[in-house]
Amino acid sequence: MTSTVDYGDRIPNNVDLGRDRVLQRALDHWQPQYMGWWYDMGPAESRTYDVYLRTAMSVDPDGWAVFDFVKMPDYRWGIFLAAPESDRQVNFGVNRGRPAWQEVPGEYRSALRRLIVTQGDTEPASVEQQRMLGMSCPSLYDLRNIYQVNVEEGRHLWAMVYLLHRYFGRDGREEAEALLERRSGDEDNPRILGAFNEPTPDWLAFYMFTFFTDRDGKFQLSSLAESGFDPLARTCRFMLTEEAHHMFVGETGVGRIVQRTAEVMAEHRIENPDQVRDLGVIDLPTIQRYLNFHYSVTLDLFGSDVSSNAASFFTSGLKGRYREAALQDDHVLSEASYPVCEVTEGKLVDRQAPALSTLNERLRDDYVREVQAGVDRWNRHIAGVGLPFKLTLPHKAFHRSIGNFAGHHVGPDGAVISKDQWNASRSRWLPGEKDYAFVQALMTGRVAEPGQFANWIAPPRVGINGRPPDFQYVRFN
């Protein structure tokens, strides 16, 4: 473990770290703690492996994705901001038209810190959630992909810690330490947001997580990339370049599982889930239940449908809408309205609410549209072999714990039901102990021969960075 940091070499950066003594001191203190956290909570038993990883070395098109074999503790977690835009302004809210802030505006300090801490907290949380999965990987290709996701989530933590150290002084440093102290699922000191305290017990859960939950990351980062606080906007813009691969891993991972199941069902002409399971692949109703779970807990991550926090983040110019700058309206929203859904007299009813206070809901709706397109692509694997089954997104009121639907029982079709009805159907809609045990039993060991894939997943069509799927992506030494 290193206790001093060679800034030019060990931490690739475009923030002039070599000349910023205060920032250097803060990182000097934090970096060994980060490595301690990585050894304790990062991917299990992976220290000595050489992994074919992409490392960001600069923000230039030819520098942000350099591929080579790296031991993960030696991965160069860098600090990068997307290139500045000249004369950038605050593009929304009451400060619209003013120059974008290069330092933290005093009146928004605590709100900004809270946004950055909440964003930062998710990054190490996901690494903790995925810690054990390398032990049961379905192939070296998949193992390399999860490790890639893990080191990049680590880098995204660095990105938020850079902002805390550089712009928030002592309380920023304290927050940066707390980011390494909270633990996913810990009763006494949990991660901030709900989904990041849920276990990710198997590879189907991992792919669902990277498809659904990393995509919340995309939409939240996109909103923060619109921020009038320019260092935050530029940091998030660069993070988004890496996020795309994580969602690719999720979408193709679930897609390959669906494809394999559909192929086995078609080959053996079976549809009964028990018979499908007997052939060592994951039956489609179980995949649907996992989908229902990950989609609904991710919808909660967008916050309450009606939120004064969201209104004030927007009005102050700290957090915009998805693709804010491209939207055609006044970017102030004091007169506009937006529909929200709620439970009234046992039914789901839409009502208009002020657009400012419904920005979480609007972002959630943007997200839902994109998610639906991915589910449609999964369904092509099923339709392609002529099976009648279709994966569907449950109603957005289903299984929600945050916002208007919290405390209500709503079925996947949007019917408001009683608690007893819910309890009677829960195991049809959400994965239960038996489902988890079945999926776990498929994933007992690691498939570690180049070119081999577990029975329950189809091989990918192509490999990584032009390498073939049977490339030795991880060397165990």
Of residues 261 and 304, the one with the C-beta less far from ligand BYC: 304
Q: How many helices (H) and strands (E) does the chain have?
A: 14, 7
Position among 33, 241, 275, 309 found at the interface with ligand BYC (CB under 6 A): 309
- Which of 326, 396, 387, 321 is closest to 360 using CA atoms? 321
| CA atoms of 228 and 104, how far apart (whole Å) | 10
Residue sitting closest to ligand BYC (CB)? 303
224-263 burial, b at 16+ Cβ within 10 Å, e below that, comes to bbbbbbbbbbbbbbbbbbbbebbbebbbbbbbbbbbbbbe
**Which three-class secondary structure state does DSSP give residue 305?**
coil
Q: Does 226 bind ligand BYC (CB under 6 A)?
A: no
CB of 81 to ligand BYC, least distance (A): 17
Of residues 23 and 356, the one with the C-beta less far from ligand BYC: 356
356-395 footprint of ligand BYC as x/- string (CB under 6 A): ----x-----------------------------------
Q: Does 123 bind ligand BYC (CB under 6 A)?
A: yes
Of residues 126 and 286, the one with the C-beta less far from ligand BYC: 126
Strand partners of residue 51: 70, 474
Q: What is the dihedral of CA 53, 439, 399, 189, to 10 degrees?
A: -60
| CA atoms of 334 and 313, how far apart (whole Å) | 14
Q: How many residues bind ligand BYC (CB under 6 A)?
A: 25
Mark the segment that binds ligand BYC (CB under 6 A) among 104-112, 116-124, 379-387, 427-435. 116-124
| CA atoms of 203 and 283, how far apart (whole Å) | 15
CB of 420 to ligand BYC, least distance (A): 27
Mark the segment that binds ligand BYC (CB under 6 A) among 112-120, 164-172, 377-385, 409-417. 112-120
Mark the segment that binds ligand BYC (CB under 6 A) among 279-287, 305-313, 435-443, 462-470. 305-313
> Which stretches does DSSP call E strand in 43-85?
50-55, 66-71
Q: Does 458 bind ligand BYC (CB under 6 A)?
A: no
Q: What is the dihedral of CA 114, 117, 118, 119, to 10 degrees?
A: 120
Using CB under 6 A, list all residues that contact ligand BYC: 115, 118-119, 122-123, 126, 153, 193-194, 213-214, 216-217, 220, 300-304, 307, 309-310, 319, 360, 402
